[in-house]
């Protein structure tokens, strides 16, 4: 039973009691009866509204306040798609680095761009393997020096499923030699030439299936289509 209905019944009961005792003809009883009749009329009107689905504004407000706010569904961020890069087109990563892929090539022996009298080189020893070399010119935009081997990671993917890791080397003495990236720091606003080498089967060189390199730099992936 609703609160308003109960109040209506109680009021009717009080009115009946007063009518039963009104034979005394007291003026005060007549006033009370008149007041109760007014209350009954108001309660009747309110009960009719409740039956018809109308709720007083103050009760609507209370009901709205008591309603728990609906929880918004959690938003799952979509993974960032790879950004395409092209040979000889610079890519700038704000406050980190500017890099340009200057070329890719297959070679059994990889030498510095301007070999000196004495220089380091890399040779694929197995008969059925060769190196895929990816050359990147990189300018540091950091505020302090950073080890050259920590700027990027490069992976080679052949036929959309075969993956080959790379190791890096860095040109020294203006391209006359190579040196190790893990002992070389690239200072702020300085430019260096790095090579990322993957030893791959000769089938990767001679085949016609898709070939690409994925360059990961500053937690973002860049995709270079080689063929």
If one compares 78 and 28, the residue with the highest pLDDT of the two is: 28
Distance CA 209, CA 221 (A): 22
The per-residue pLDDT for 199 is: 98
- pTM of model > 0.75: no
Give residue-wise pLDDT tens across range 94-113: 999 999 999 999 999 999 99
CA 109 vs CA 98, 105, 115, 133, 217: distances in Å: 28, 11, 13, 10, 27
**Residue 25 CB partners (closer than 8 Å, separation 6+):** none
Q: For residue 38, name the pLDDT band (cuts at 50, 70, 90).
A: confident
User: pLDDT for 117-160, tens place per residue?
Assistant: 999 999 999 999 999 999 999 999 999 999 999 999 999 999 99
> Taking Cα atoms as reference points, which of 149, 144, 132, 131 lies closest to residue 192?
149
Report pLDDT digits (tens) over 46-93.
666 666 655 455 555 655 555 555 555 555 444 445 799 999 999 999
pLDDT in the model for residue 74: 57
Separation CA 100–CA 86 (nearest Å): 8
Q: Which of 27-36, 85-94, 121-130, 167-176 has the lowest mean pLDDT?
A: 27-36
């Amino acid at each position: 039973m609703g609160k308003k209905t109960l109040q209506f019944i109680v009021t009717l009961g009080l009115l009946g009691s007063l009518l039963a005792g009104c034979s005394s003809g007291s003026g005060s009883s007549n006033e009370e009866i008149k007041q109760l009749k007014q209350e009954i009329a108001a309660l009747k009107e309110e009960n009719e509204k409740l039956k018809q689905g109308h709720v007083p504004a103050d009760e609507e407000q209370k009901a709205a306040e008591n309603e728990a706010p609906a929880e918004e569904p959690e938003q799952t961020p979509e993974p960032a798609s790879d950004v395409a890069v092209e040979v000889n087109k610079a890519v700038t990563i704000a406050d980190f680095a500017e890099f340009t892929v200057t070329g890719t090539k297959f070679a059994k022996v990889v030498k510095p761009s301007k070999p000196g009298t004495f220089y380091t080189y890399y040779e694929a020893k197995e008969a059925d393997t060769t190196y895929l070399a990816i050359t990147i010119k990189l300018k540091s935009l950091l505020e302090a020096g950073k080890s050259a081997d920590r700027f990027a990671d490069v992976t080679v993917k052949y036929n959309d499923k075969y993956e080959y890791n790379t190791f890096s080397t860095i040109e020294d003495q203006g391209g006359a030699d190579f040196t190790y990236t893990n002992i070389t720091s690239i200072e702020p606003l300085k430019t260096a030439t790095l090579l990322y080498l993957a030893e791959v089967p000769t089938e990767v060189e001679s085949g016609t299936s898709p070939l690409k390199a994925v360059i990961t730099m500053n937690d973002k992936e860049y995709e270079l289509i080689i063929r």
